[in-house]
């Protein structure tokens, strides 16, 4: 993300000064940050931990008989 894109993004979300500082820190200070690897790690985490177990749906007959 270019600095101009970053500014437009933060303006669109009405980001607080604290968020702006944090984003600037990540993009400008952490030169060894691999965004592609970070995105892959985030996807893997969400895939493994982000899903909540769903309740098993009852069949219509079970619902009808209230079992």
Domain segments of the chain as ranges: 1-34
Rounded to an integer, the average pLDDT of 24-53 is 81
Confidence of residue 16 (pLDDT cuts 50, 70, 90): very high
pLDDT value, residue 20: 93
Place of tokens 């600037």: 24
Average pLDDT of the chain, as a whole number? 83
Q: What is the largest CA-CA distance in the chain?
A: 63
How far is Cα 59 from Cα 66, in angstroms, rounded to an integer?
Answer: 10
């Amino acid at each position: 993300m270019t600095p101009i894109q970053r500014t437009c993004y933060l303006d669109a979300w009405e980001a607080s000064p604290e968020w702006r500082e944090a984003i600037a820190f990540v993009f400008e200070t952490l030169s060894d940050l691999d965004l592609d690897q970070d995105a892959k790690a985030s996807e893997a985490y969400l895939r493994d931990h982000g899903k909540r177990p769903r309740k098993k749906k009852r069949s219509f007959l079970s619902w009808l008989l209230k079992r």
